[in-house]
Structure 1
Amino acid sequence: MAKAAGCSQATVSVVLNNVTDIKISPDLRTRVLEAARRLGYGLASPIRRAGLGDLRGGCIGFIVDQLATTPEAVNAIEGARHASWENDVTILVAQTQGRAEHERKAVARLLQAGAQGIVYMSIFTRRVSIDAVFDDLPVPLVLLNCYTSDNRFPAVVPDEATGGHMATASLIGKGHRRIATIVGESFMEAAQDRLAGYRQALAEAGLAYDDRLVVEGNWTPTSGFESTQKLLSLEEPPTAIFCQNDKMAMGCFNAITEAGMRIPDDLSVVGYDDDEISRHLRPQLTTLELPHRPMGAWAIEQLARKPLAGRHEIHKVGCTLIERASTKGCVTRQ
């Protein structure tokens, strides 16, 4: 929400928590409150309308395997916090590094602290086999960015296939017909689903899939650089590249510049994740924003509803395409 209001997260917290001993200009306060209403925080939030019932004045446990590697976990926790702040619900966070013994200790301590529900999050979207300690919890459990094979718990994940489709379709809509993609590591579900969305968008537009235009990276800038070099060396290079994360897009930018080409005049580029770096590249990067904040809010809503035992449909939340300056209409090469 700080991005939407054009200010720091600290300023957002000051405004939303009605801190009176810190001076905030009326214009900035209004901008933050308008962004909050637009994004569904506070009084406009569906969580607020549903009510948190017995969670009010209590606490919720958040168990995550990693906090420091990417911003996704922090964004999800922030979404959960915004969904519950008016109801005086405290979020307690435990990082376990995916170790079962750490998870068991975290569960015991969170329950001892009075947690009235637990959110279990994986930093990578995947199917998980969770420890038996979660089978007999006295409080509800919701899975965030992961799911189990038997779907016995409510679970929420990003709609990555639709995201890959949106990224590709945005380039097709600008007239591009030879569109490459740099995928992440193929064993990861996010990479598989984004590629599936890419292929679907091509098929819907009547464009043939060309495996020469699909290069596997590993999410790093270096792999984006090297993959772009391969694509530019083709006899018929692409006019646009969909990089499946923003770090690979950064490497892609460098390879295009090193080749003496310009973005987007000679080549359009789309990224994925809306990493902070996407706003500092020149030109600024068109990308997709992962929905971890609304996913965190959804998890809190499910805990408030006290889900019953049984099979639960995996809830998918759509990504948002953020148009910036790295794409334009197709350039026809002579």
Structure 2
Amino acid sequence: MPTRRPTMTDVAQAAGVSQSTVSMVLNNMTGARLSAETRSKVLGVAMELGYRLPRREAPAPAAAIPAAPGVPGVRRNLIGYLVDEISTSPHPVVSVDGARDAAWTHDCVVSVAVTRGNAEQEAAAIEMLAMHPALLGIVYSTIFTREVALPPALVHRLGTVPVVLLNCHDEQHKLPTIVPGEVGGGHAATEHLIAMGHTRIGFINGEPWMEAAKDRIKGYRRALATADLPFDPALVRDGDWMSGTGFEATRSLMAGPRPPTALFCANDLMALGAMEALAQLGLKVPDDVSVMGYDDQEISRHTHPPLTTMVLPNYEMGRAAVEALLVAADTPAAQRASRRHLIKIDCPLVERQTVRRHA
């Protein structure tokens, strides 16, 4: 069986930096404020793992990237990428990075439009993209996973313009869709804590109305059930993804008559707050209490000790979206309409130093 080609996620994990940092180093972005030590470390790890930047080969044959309809000699190699927000979170930026790299390997380029969910801006961006003779298709993306109502301007073109949904899904599930495997991620995180001997595992969730929060606690509960451990509502707190609620929820959980020996926080910022609360209570991580995060944000590498967490696979999701779009572009419209492709990208575990075996 062929060996899997290493990804930027692999390099980031091995080097102890973020996917964004790896991308900036390997793409030789001169404006990035990175130390020579960091650049050297990333390059060394990439070389050791055998990672290679995607390189554009000779132009793809016409069958792979078709000519624009009615425009002789113009090949469709422009991918439109619509996203509602990109500046308030590191996650969508990394997805764009993955989409760009995947497009480049197929002799395509990506044009990104940030609409902030404004209907008029979405419509204008779609109209401009649709007018371009080289348009291959459109990736429609959101900053957090949710159900979306497609813009009318996009719905009207579904018969002629391939569309892939990234980090979102439509009500009827008729379009190719790329989302993170959040239930599996919540299950894997909890399963790891159970494997380390923990049976009372506190769970600090995000805002409960969000799909990510619903799926992560679903994974938590499934892992408990699989291990034949009872679900105890007293061990669960709802938060808001911010460190302050991680702090308060931890103090509340540890004040109970049977406090948990491990905390699974639904994102890294709440885990940061949890670690601060434990320190104020005079408890050591992981000697007294183990802590698990989620997302693998840059801060997770710089906590004391470094945080064990789950990767939110934004880069791989961006790549998968472009690859799905290329398949859709090579599929007749009638067949596209009858297909439903839901691709869930796994959230891998990153073991660092905040989880230890419970005696």
Q: 1:250 to 1:26 in 2, by over 3 A?
A: closer
- Residue 289 of structure 1: aligned partner: 311
Residue among 181, 191, 197 paired with 2:213: 191
Partner amino acid for 1:110? L
Q: 1:8 to 1:313 in 2, by over 3 A?
A: closer
Residue 52 of structure 1 deviates from its aligned partner by 5.2
Preserved contact between residue 153 and residue 310 of structure 1 (Cα < 8 Å): no
Preserved contact between residue 76 and residue 136 of structure 2 (Cα < 8 Å): no
Partner amino acid for 1:112? M
Structure 1 portions without partners, runs of 5+:
16-24
Residue 311 of structure 1 deviates from its aligned partner by 4.1
- Residue 325 of structure 1: aligned partner: 353
The answer to whether 1:272 aligns with 2:294 is: yes
Residue 4 of structure 1 deviates from its aligned partner by 4.9
- Residue 267 of structure 2: aligned partner: 245
Greater CA drift, 259-268 or 67-76:
67-76
- Residue 32 of structure 1: aligned partner: 46
Q: 1:136 to 1:216 in 2, by over 3 A?
A: same
Question: Counterparts of 1:246-265 in structure 2 under 5 Å?
Answer: 246-265=268-287
Structure 2 portions without partners, runs of 5+:
1-7, 16-20, 30-38, 68-74
TM-score (norm: length of structure 1):
0.88
Q: Could you list the per-position Cα deviations for residues 68-104 of structure 1 after superposition, in whole angstroms to 9, with x for gaps in the alignment?
A: 1111111111111111223332111111111221110
Q: How many residues align?
A: 316
The RMSD of aligned alpha carbons is 2.6
Partner amino acid for 2:26? V
Q: 1:161 to 1:109 in 2, by over 3 A?
A: same
TM-score (norm: length of structure 2):
0.82
- Residue 112 of structure 1: aligned partner: 131
Residue among 99, 115, 118 paired with 1:80: 99
Residue 152 of structure 1 deviates from its aligned partner by 1.6
Structure 1 Cα separation of the partners of residues 306 and 64 of structure 2: 40
Q: Could you list the per-position Cα deviations for residues 233-279 of structure 1 after superposition, in whole angstroms to 9, with x for gaps in the alignment?
A: 00110000000000100100110000011000000000000011100
Structure 2 Cα separation of the partners of residues 321 and 110 of structure 1: 38
Partner amino acid for 2:12? K
Q: Percentage identity across aligned positions?
A: 41
- Residue 42 of structure 1: aligned partner: 54
Structure 1 Cα separation of the partners of residues 352 and 14 of structure 2: 17
Q: 1:108 to 1:252 in 2, by over 3 A?
A: same
Partner amino acid for 1:293? Y
Preserved contact between residue 157 and residue 295 of structure 1 (Cα < 8 Å): yes
Question: Counterparts of 1:54-203 in structure 2 under 5 Å?
Answer: 54=66, 58-113=77-132, 114-137=134-157, 138-203=160-225
Structure 1 Cα separation of the partners of residues 81 and 23 of structure 2: 20
Preserved contact between residue 183 and residue 216 of structure 2 (Cα < 8 Å): yes
Partner amino acid for 2:154? F
Structure 2 Cα separation of the partners of residues 10 and 204 of structure 1: 41
Partner amino acid for 1:103? E
- Residue 18 of structure 1: aligned partner: none
Structure 1 Cα separation of the partners of residues 341 and 98 of structure 2: 21
The answer to whether 1:14 aligns with 2:25 is: no
Structure 2 Cα separation of the partners of residues 52 and 265 of structure 1: 56
- Residue 20 of structure 1: aligned partner: none
Q: 1:186 to 1:36 in 2, by over 3 A?
A: farther
